[in-house]
Amino acid sequence: MAQRGSYAKGVARREEILESALEVIGRDGYQNASLKQIAHMVGVTPAALLHYFGSKEELFTEVLRKRDEHDGMDPRLADLADPREGLIDVIRHNAEVPGLVELFSRLAVDAVDPEHPAHSYFLERSERLRSAVAAGLHRDSTREPALDPDTMARVLQAVADGLQLQWMIDPTVDMADIVERLIDALAPRRD
């Protein structure tokens, strides 16, 4: 369905803001990514950002939501027969977007507060991610997991998040390689 001009412009602006936000984080770090900086990069005032997103926290939550939509965590994790390849794909991809990893890790802590706009985002995403991985493991008859699928999923999620912390402070850490070897050790192929 066709949109009115003014509406289409708003949608484009939203995208522009979300992309600029990510760019500023990647360049200056989350700490120094102010509304002013982002607004300046877009060419508007901070108040314009709050017109589209209600607050700074909601803006950044939206960045994460959009990422999940567009480079689809679900398709890769849930639809693949082999959950190992899906998980490692995601990790490899993350290593190419430092700003996104920093944003994710930072909001994961802030969102502990039930009032934080990203609170439900993290609860639901975690839940979906773990059940996708657990289902994949359960379906994969070529491997013999050493732990029940739910615990395996929880451990893999924890390792992925924890390795991101290590990688951010020391980028020589090879996240994908470690997860790869861990999965092979924890759910070896049947002979």
Whether the Cβ atoms of residue 145 and residue 137 lie closer than 8 Å to each other = yes
180 binds a second copy (CB under 8 A): no
Please give the size of the binding site for a second copy, defined by CB under 8 A: 39
* 54 binding partner (options a second copy, DNA, none; Cβ < 5 to 8 Å by kind): DNA
Residue 177 tokens read as 């390689």
116 to 69, 130, 165: CA distances (angstroms): 21, 22, 22
Those residues with Cβ within 8 angstroms of residue 105's Cβ, 6 or more apart along the chain or in another chain: 161, 164, 165, 168
Cα dihedral 120/125/131/133 (nearest 10): -160
Those residues with Cβ within 8 angstroms of residue 63's Cβ, 6 or more apart along the chain or in another chain: 18, 21, 22, 100, 103
Show the site string, 55-94: x = touches a second copy by CB under 8 A, - = not.
----------------------------------------
Q: How far is the CB of 74 from a second copy (least distance, A)?
A: 19
123 binds a second copy (CB under 8 A): yes
* 9 binding partner (options a second copy, DNA, none; Cβ < 5 to 8 Å by kind): DNA
* 112 binding partner (options DNA, a second copy, none; Cβ < 5 to 8 Å by kind): a second copy
41 binds DNA (CB under 7 A): no
Residues in contact with DNA by CB under 7 A are: 6-7, 9-11, 13, 34-37, 43-48, 50-52, 54-57
